[in-house]
């Protein structure tokens, strides 16, 4: 189960995490988790370029090692890079030392102050240790979860949910993964077209 719109109570419980950006700006912050991979990430890059959009890619270290050429394209196109651990670890089910070391392994490749915990699940103790390790670290969550990873979600319904809940300053999560591609391929260009016509800009975090 997942919620497209992040509940305000969850934001209150973790105020030290970043859930959305400035609501006074007509800007949407698109984020893409789990890449880079072949086919899907290049599709995202091409679609973003068509709409003059910048985004933030939360990369898995192992995928960066496997696809260095695609990772270099992300950087060359001016998109922001975030850490998504080296092996996509779920914080709630991982010992702190293992989790932090996996973060460090990815950080050696990515060298970024942005981090998104896989599945959005991280212990308070892990937050504390990561911040001690990297004081400038910004842990980026979201206020709109597209659900593109849900194989039971029809692409049209995925689009409907994203458009319904996205507003000024929203941080929106998509996934440049094979599992999400059927929905992502349908939703991303259509959502960008609607938002562009509504006067939105698309910036990296």
Tell me: the pLDDT tens digits for 38-53? 999 999 999 999 999 9
Tell me: the pLDDT tens digits for 59-72? 999 999 999 999 99
Q: Mean pLDDT over all residues of the chain?
A: 97
- DSSP class of 18: B
CA gap 153, 121 in Å, rounded: 22
pLDDT band at 2 (very low <50, low <70, confident <90, very high): confident
- Classify 33 as helix, strand or coil: strand
Tell me: the pLDDT tens digits for 154-170? 999 999 999 999 999 99
Tell me: the pLDDT tens digits for 107-163? 999 999 999 999 999 999 999 999 999 999 999 999 999 999 999 999 999 999 999
Residue 1 has pLDDT above 70, yes or no: no
The predicted model gives 169-198 an average pLDDT of 99
Tell me: the pLDDT tens digits for 10-26? 888 889 999 999 999 99
DSSP-derived pairing of the beta strands 114-115 and 201-202: unpaired
Tokens of 128: 């504390």
The predicted model gives 21-40 an average pLDDT of 98
For the chain, give the number of residues.
205
H helix runs in 67-147, sequence order: 68-76, 96-110, 124-133
Active site residues: 33, 175
Domain over 8-202 is classified CATH 3.20.20.370: yes
Sign of CA dihedral 197, 25, 202, 165: negative
- For residue 169, what are the contacts with CB-CB under 8 A and spacing of at least 6? 20, 21, 22, 23, 24, 25, 27, 28, 29
Tell me: the pLDDT tens digits for 64-106? 999 999 999 999 999 999 999 999 999 999 999 999 999 999 9
pLDDT band at 200 (very low <50, low <70, confident <90, very high): very high
């Amino acid at each position: 189960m997942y919620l497209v719109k992040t509940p305000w109570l969850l934001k209150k419980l973790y105020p030290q995490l970043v859930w959305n950006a400035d609501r006074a700006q007509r800007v949407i912050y698109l984020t893409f988790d789990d890449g880079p991979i072949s086919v899907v990430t290049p599709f995202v890059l091409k679609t973003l370029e068509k709409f003059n959009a910048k985004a933030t890619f939360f990369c898995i270290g192992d995928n960066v090692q496997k696809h260095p050429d695609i990772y270099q394209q992300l950087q060359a196109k001016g998109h922001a890079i975030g850490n998504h651990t080296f092996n996509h670890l779920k914080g709630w089910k991982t010992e702190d030392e293992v989790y932090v070391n996996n973060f460090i392994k990815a950080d050696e490749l990515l060298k970024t102050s942005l981090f998104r915990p896989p599945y959005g699940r991280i212990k308070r103790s892990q937050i504390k240790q990561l911040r001690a390790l990297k004081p400038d670290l910004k842990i980026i969550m979201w206020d709109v979860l597209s659900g593109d990873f849900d194989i039971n979600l029809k692409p049209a319904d995925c689009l409907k949910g994203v458009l319904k809940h996205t507003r000024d300053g929203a941080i929106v999560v998509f996934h440049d993964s094979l599992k999400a591609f059927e929905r992502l391929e349908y939703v991303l260009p259509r959502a960008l077209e609607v938002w562009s016509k509504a006067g939105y800009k698309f910036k990296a975090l």
